[in-house]
Structure 1
């Protein structure tokens, strides 16, 4: 059992928190109440960033002390939205939210994952008609191993998890968000994930 703090109680955060609790972990969910995120981050071993990506960097940089020594699992994408509310462009072109978080939080081990799919797939990958891929990006190999173990608790088979390398590889998976609005306009909010076929 691992003590996990989920920052963000929307669809993504709520879904992850419920699934991790069912898997036997001790999970705390931090809402937007003042001090809630700091309290949750301080007591957890692993912190999941499920806050809206546009404000994640500022929000988490303020938790530098609380996140020191922790694993930060970043599942958010930092984008600007178009008139229809769907992602339109990247906030950190030539970089990524994950890289910006790692720079702002040097004592925290940032791992990027689960950001290349609609949120229901994060906790139910086997419901898709073909095997999806979950990517891992991060500079700390042990942290990536621990996050990979969490993914298996969420139903991800080991062979569905691909370690891309260092944190800079997150800019590739974050850029995949640019597929999303076109897919949604084409097929609606049908669950999907980017998959590597071999």
Structure 2
């Protein structure tokens, strides 16, 4: 059992919290209030950032001390939304939210994953008709191994997980969010994931 704090109680955070609780972990979900997030992060071994990406950097900088020494799993995408509310462009072109987080939180081990799919796939990858891919980006091999274990608890088989390398590779995974509005307009709001097939 691992002590996990999920920052964000929307669809993404709620789904992850429920699935990880069912897998036997002790999960605390923080709402948007600073006190709630600080309390949750302070007692956790792993913190999952499921807050809206456009405001994640500011929220997590405020938790610098609470996140010291923790593994921070970043599943968010930082985008500028278009008139229809769907992602239109990246907030950090030429970089990524994960890289920015690692820069401002040098004592935290940031791992990027699960941001290249509709939120329902994060906790039910086997529900798709074809094999999905979960990407990992991060500079700490041990942290990425721990996150692999969490993904397994969410139903991800090891052969479905691709380690892209250092945290700088998160910019490629985050750029995949630009596919999302076009896929949704083309096929509707149905579960999907970006996948590598070989």
Q: Distance in 2 between matches of 1:54 and 1:187?
A: 26
Q: Which residue of 2 aligns with 1:125?
A: 125
Give the TM-score normalised by structure 2: 0.99
Q: Is 1:141 matched up with 2:141?
A: yes
Trace 1:20-169 onto structure 2 (pairs within 5 A). Answer: 20-169=20-169
Give the match's secondary structure for 1:195: coil
1:32 offset after TM fit, Å?
1.4
For 2:79 and 2:164, how far apart are their aligned partners in 1? 22
The alpha carbon displacement at 1:43 in A equals 0.3
Structure 1 residue matching 2:129: 3-state secondary structure: coil
What SS class does the counterpart of residue 189 from structure 1 fall into? Answer: coil
Tell me the C-alpha RMSD between the 2 structures: 0.4
* TM-score in terms of structure 1 length: 0.99
Aligned residues between the structures: 198
Structure 1 residue runs of 5 or longer lacking an equivalent are none
> 1:68-118: per-residue Cα shift (whole Å, max 9, x none)?
000000000000000000000000000000000000100000000000000
Residues 10-21 of structure 1 correspond to what in structure 2 (within 5 A)?
10-21=10-21
In 2, Cα distance between the equivalents of 1:140 and 1:111? Answer: 8
Q: What SS does the aligned partner of 1:14 have? A: helix
